[in-house]
Amino acid sequence: MKRIALMVIKLIWIAPFWFARICLWAKSDKHTELEKFSFLKMVTTRANKAGRVIVQASGLENLPEKMGYVIFPNHQGMFDVLALLECCPHPFTVVMKKEVANIFLVKQIRRLLKAQFIDREDVRGSVQVIRQMTAEVKEGRNYVIFAEGTRSKHKNRIQSFKGGSFKSAINARCPIVPVALIDSFKPFDSHSVEPVTVQVYFLPPLYYEAYKDMKSLEIAALVQQRVAEKINDILWSQGRQI
């Protein structure tokens, strides 16, 4: 990918040091979760700038003050997590599919963030992951889950949000934060190094009292609707079509 190559070239003088630190910190308990997240946030911000990507975030005031919530963005591509890492002020970890868990660099970052991965063909294993996530969210850890399951191949058009993705949030009785990503597919999927802007909108959260009587599929449909409406509204205001 041309933009990733640009990032590496511009940061070649410091990238090996950063990678070494990521590997060391991922294996060590000497540093706090906040320290690890802050370091990764700095690296990500520098890399995005080197790659000529601007991340614009709105709605940060909607994030719950108390830690222990789950963020549900639409899924456009590999850059999604980098956009969230740059703009989210609170530490979080990620749920990823098994297929990408051991990719070079992704593997090291996964360990640093203590991310979870799900094998969609292993039902028993997936249930165990949900239980662990539920326990961690109750203890104050924030998670990012892509409820579509896989990235959209239709740019800013989202796919159906899966009800099962909301099980851990429901069990933890925690706030659910919808997030609308716009143009997050462009940095790595456009085969260009021209400057690009990615927009991130944190929407008002759903608190447990608001969704406690709803089924998981109903919650998924509601969050999907809110994200889709936000994307449509923003694109319409910018004179663009989805």
| First-to-last C-alpha distance (Å) of the chain | 25
Give the per-residue pLDDT at 102.
74
**pTM of the full structure:** 0.94
Residue 19 has pLDDT above 80, yes or no: yes
- The distance of Cα 226 from the centroid of its chain, to the nearest Å, equals 17
pLDDT at 150: 84
* The residue to which tokens 């998924």 are assigned: 220
Burial pattern 33-55, b for ≥16 Cβ within 10 A else e, equals eeebbebbbebbebbbebbbbeb
Residues 6+ apart with CB under 8 A from 210: none
Section 132-138 average pLDDT: 95
Banded model confidence at residue 189, pLDDT cuts 50, 70, 90: confident
